[in-house]
Structure 1
Amino acid sequence: MLDRFGKLAEEQEKVPVEDLMDAVGRRSFGPLLLMAGIVMAAPGISDIPGVPTITGIFVLIVCVQILFGREDFWLPGWLLKRKIPQKLLGKLASNKWSRRVAKAVDRFVTERLEFLTGPKANYVVAAVCTALAVMSPLTELVPLSGIGVGVALVSFGISLIARDGLMALIGFVLSAGTIGLAVAAKL
């Protein structure tokens, strides 16, 4: 997926979200959550004003569709037409941290704990990701706070793609910790 984003960044000065969606595939929700998680987890990128909020809106749209049982993905036209600057997308695609994480995950992921990846479990994943999406705009107030949200989204995205229940379990633990820290910080 990072390679596809890099290729798009090489081809266009500003890349529409619609082109990113086509590169990921519109029938799978897992890569969409993974893509959002990578954006939020990449140090520096999630600290750009507006990125956590836009990412949160994107995740919310994805998760609501999962919760309503849609089989293919839909985004509103205004979001599909938004353009991501070549420099930002290229930075995301070539980010050494993201690449190292992607390689490590590829070696680690396999089908396991399938009871955490079935259709019913996907609804629970979508509900937790909805909570993370609602929380995302708050991460704009504290530097690096979006990383917890991003890593949880990455875990959930991988779990949906690879049917890896361990990744779903990791996502649940990270979500609980992230939401717990946000609640504690607010008190």
Structure 2
Amino acid sequence: MAEMHEATDMVEEMQDLGEQSDEVSVRDMVEALGHRGFGPLIFVPALVVVSPLGGIPGLPSLMALVIVLIAAQILVGRDHFWLPDWIGCRAVSDDKVDKATRKIHAAAEWLDRHVGERLPRFTGKVAQMVGALAVIVLCIMVPPLEFLPFAAVIPMLAIAIIGLAVTVRDGVLMLVGLTAAVAALIGGLYMLISM
């Protein structure tokens, strides 16, 4: 299997955005990653929430909304991504982006060494639609989970796995992501009921 650098490349693209401007908007992120397809547009926002940026109040819910819009467009079969202006203009400072990308860079390198094109039939159109539906369900849980510190990481980690699986066409990773989605749904519901 040829060595791939998808996760590292995406993190480095986010680092480059932070170096080019004082702020990085959702639209900047989408424009930087959009040429790679829908997978990175699910993976990177979820990864943002898993990073230290996930502690910024309201950011997990905003990223969940962005992901829902992307996943919904996968379900209806769109080829190009559409983003409303009121979401696209939301931004975080360059220093926060730099701090977050530095912390997740090692994880991205590890992912690149361990994922790749395996069982590609599990990342085909039908599998992507199943993944998109799972992602939407998990995103619905994020706003109430924000009341518990860093609890939004649980569903976002499963979403990140699904997004990466679509990006690198790794069917094994997609199966892991869907299993993680079920576990995150059960764990998230338990946490919400226990609040």
Q: Which of residues 60, 73, 95 in structure 2 aligns to 1:65?
A: 73
Alignment RMSD (CA, Å):
1.4
Give the letter for the 2:88 counterpart: L
CA distance in structure 2 between the partners assigned to 1:111 and 1:65 by the alignment? 24
1:2-45 CA-partner distances (Å, limit 9, x unpaired) = 11111221121122222221211256100111101211211x32
**Equivalent residue pairs, number:** 184
- Runs ≥4 residues deviating over 3 A: none
Q: Is the 8 A contact 1:152 1:172 kept in 2?
A: yes
Which residue of the partner structure matches residue 126 of structure 2? 120
CA distance in structure 2 between the partners assigned to 1:17 and 1:101 by the alignment? 22
Give the letter for the 2:125 counterpart: P
Which residue of the partner structure matches residue 7 of structure 2? none
CA distance in structure 1 between the partners assigned to 2:19 and 2:192 by the alignment? 42
1:38 and 2:47 are equivalent in the alignment: yes
Q: Is the 8 A contact 2:115 2:168 kept in 1?
A: yes
Which residue of the partner structure matches residue 75 of structure 1? 83
Q: Which of residues 102, 109, 117 in structure 2 aligns to 1:111?
A: 117
1:11 and 2:27 are equivalent in the alignment: no
Structure 1 residue 130: Cα displacement: 0.3
Q: Percent identity?
A: 29
Instruction: Structure 1 unaligned segments of length 5 or more: list them.
Output: none
CA distance in structure 2 between the partners assigned to 1:181 and 1:16 by the alignment? 31
Q: Is the 8 A contact 2:123 2:166 kept in 1?
A: yes
Give the letter for the 1:58 counterpart: V
Give the SS at the match of 1:15.
strand
Q: Which of residues 55, 61, 65 in structure 1 aligns to 2:63?
A: 55
Give the letter for the 2:27 counterpart: E
Give the SS at the match of 2:117.
coil
Which segment is superposed worse, 155-164 or 138-147?
138-147
Give the letter for the 2:83 counterpart: L
1:99-157 CA-partner distances (Å, limit 9, x unpaired) = 12101110111211223111111110000000111111122111221222222122111
TM-score, normalised to structure 2, is 0.88
1:183 and 2:189 are equivalent in the alignment: yes
Which residue of the partner structure matches residue 172 of structure 2? 166
CA distance in structure 2 between the partners assigned to 1:54 and 1:85 by the alignment? 15
Structure 1 residue 167: Cα displacement: 0.9
